[in-house]
Structure 1
Amino acid sequence: MSIWWSLHLRREAASVPLARRLLLGTMETAGVDPDISYDLSLALSEACANAVEHGGRTGSGEACAEFRVTAYLDGEKCRIEVADSGPGFPAGRVRTVRRPVPAEAESGRGLSLIEELADHVHIGNRSGRGGAVVSFDKIVKWRSDAPLAVG
């Protein structure tokens, strides 16, 4: 069983809970374990919040009014990707290794939280058109009464 969906959302704070609710509703309907759904929805919220806050302008100075969320629920894995058209991550800031964020930091915990909640995370820049991409996946556990479970 496979489900996928893609949203193009306005770069506004109200888009974050919209994406989260859609993911939670999809996961609940499919029969994904609520703890897994919660982890993925929290990671999605963090990635969307980053796109809203940091996906502001392209390298040429144009305003970026939207970002994209794509989710795939395929077999026993869920993969989520959040991409914007902003300037992307500065050179040297793309991370693949987990590192702690100082307790006194006022921001910067979102990517670390995503890394803690997901099984695999890729943080980078889009090739060609520019912008940041945060993708993450997690092995899915199904409820015993899941209508769409693999098995």
Structure 2
Amino acid sequence: MSIWWSLHLRREAASVPLARRLLIGTMETAGVDPEISYDLSVALSEACANAVEHGGGPASGASEAYRVTAYLDGEKCRIEVADPGPGPGAGPVRVRTPRPARPDAEHGRGLFLIRELADHVHIGARPGRGGTVVSFDKILKWRTDPSLLTA
């Protein structure tokens, strides 16, 4: 089974739960194991929160929107969050393994969580457009009674 969707969202905090709920609903309908769905939804929330907070703004001349695309294809889910912010520059970026944030820190856990919850993470520039793309994937496990097949 293959399912994909793409959202164009305003860089507002209210957009984060919208993307998360759509992902969870899609995975539940497709019959993905709830633990895998939860892991990916937390990783998506972190990537969206980064796009909302760091994805540019009027001062940078960047758009006030970002894009989320999810692909469930066979045994893998791939999620991409792209924003028009300043980005890491041209080409792929080598990102050091993030260290856990201090217990009293209010920020700095996003990339660490994404790396812990996903099987593969890539952070790079949006080709030909500027900005940043965070993509991550995870091998899927399936429930034995997917609602898509019983409906």
Which blocks of at least 5 consecutive residues in structure 1 are unaligned? none
Which 4+ runs in 1 deviate beyond 3 A?
94-97
Corresponding residue for 1:82? 81
Q: Distance in 2 between matches of 1:97 and 1:148?
A: 40
Corresponding residue for 1:140? 140
Q: Distance in 1 between matches of 2:146 and 2:3?
A: 14
Instruction: State the Cα distance separating 1:105 from its structure 2 match.
Output: 4.0
Q: Distance in 2 between matches of 1:25 and 1:102?
A: 31
Instruction: State the Cα distance separating 1:89 from its structure 2 match.
Output: 2.9
Q: Distance in 2 between matches of 1:5 and 1:102?
A: 32
Give 1:76's aligned amino acid: E
Corresponding residue for 1:115? 115
1:71 and 2:70 matched: yes
**1:57–1:87: 8 Å Cα contact kept in structure 2?**
no
Give 1:12's aligned amino acid: E
Q: Distance in 2 between matches of 1:8 and 1:87?
A: 18
Corresponding residue for 1:53? 53
Q: Distance in 2 between matches of 1:148 and 1:26?
A: 10
Give 2:10's aligned amino acid: R
Q: Distance in 2 between matches of 1:61 and 1:134?
A: 20
Instruction: State the Cα distance separating 1:97 from its structure 2 match.
Output: 4.2
**1:96–1:121: 8 Å Cα contact kept in structure 2?**
no
Give 2:142's aligned amino acid: W
Instruction: State the Cα distance separating 1:135 from its structure 2 match.
Output: 0.2
Corresponding residue for 1:32? 32
Give aligned-pair identity as a percent.
76
Pairs aligned (count): 146
Give 2:83's aligned amino acid: D
RMSD in angstroms over aligned alpha carbons? 2.0
Q: Distance in 2 between matches of 1:148 and 1:77?
A: 17
Post-superposition Cα deviations, 1:54-84, rounded to whole Å, max 9, x if no partner, equal 00238x8314210000000000000000000
Corresponding residue for 2:21? 21
Q: Distance in 1 between matches of 2:121 and 2:43?
A: 10
Which blocks of at least 5 consecutive residues in structure 2 are unaligned? none
